[in-house]
Chains A and B, each alone.
Chain A
Amino acid sequence: SQQGEEDPQALSIQEGENATMNCSYKTSINNLQWYRQNSGRGLVHLILIRSNEREKHSGRLRVTLDTSKKSSSLLITASRAADTASYFCATSTGNQFYFGTGTSLTVIP
């Protein structure tokens, strides 16, 4: 399976703290994306990082990519209660998208 692994599986932090979640994958990729899913809903795209990029920022989000280690991290700074959701990384190889196992983030007000 090409499915990636994410850790931690669950993360609980206080509002205002930073949240870091990691993603590891198995094969060479074209790009890696992070998605957010609220309970029982579809996924919302957060950020994409290409295989030749090492770091990318978007608002309170910071993504890093280490292709030598086949890993990526998503940092959410100054977390808010509304950030509570599940976060998935997804890797693209050719015509398929595969999702990681996900991290469930709970931000306590």
Chain B
Amino acid sequence: GAVVSQHPSWVICKSGTSVKIECRSLDFQATTMFWYRQFPKQSLMLMATSNEGSKATYEQGVEKDKFLINHASLTLSTLTVTSAHPEDSSFYICSAGERGGGWSPLHFGNGTRLTVT
């Protein structure tokens, strides 16, 4: 089945540094990828929708200058958390829909646990 690879799975960084998270679709083309944030024991909150070759669409309340999204190819989207602070510590998950599949079903990466000290 379709696989989405997310890297790294866990990252610890110092406050003020930037962290890049990669999301790759391994065996299909993903024109759109979704980035979610999940706090412990809570649901996934959609942060932004990443479209290949164009600017990402951010959800209300998500700072686009803090969470930089780049979707340069049909198989790779990146999320960069800039000037990270402890409150950015969270579980970040990407997902991708197959081209022509109407986004259904989504294939998820295994998530990245970000800890900012």
Interface residues of A (CB under 8 A from B): 3, 30-31, 33, 35, 40-45, 48, 88, 90, 92, 95-102, 104
Contact = CB atoms under 8 A, between A and B. Distances in A.
B46 to A, nearest CB: 6
Interface residues of B, number: 27
Contact of A48 (B4, B46, B91, B105): B105
Contacts of B34: 96-97
B106 A102 contact: no
A40 B46 contact: no
Given A31-B104, A40-B111, A97-B106, A3 B49 contact: no
28 contacts: A31-B104, A35-B108, A40-B111, A40-B113, A41-B110, A42-B108, A42-B111, A43-B93, A43-B95, A43-B108, A45-B105, A45-B106, A45-B107, A48-B104, A48-B105, A90-B106, A95-B32, A95-B49, A97-B34, A97-B46, A97-B95, A99-B43, A99-B44, A99-B45, A99-B46, A100-B43, A101-B42, A102-B43
Top 4 closest A-B pairs, CB basis? A45-B105, A42-B108, A42-B110, A43-B108
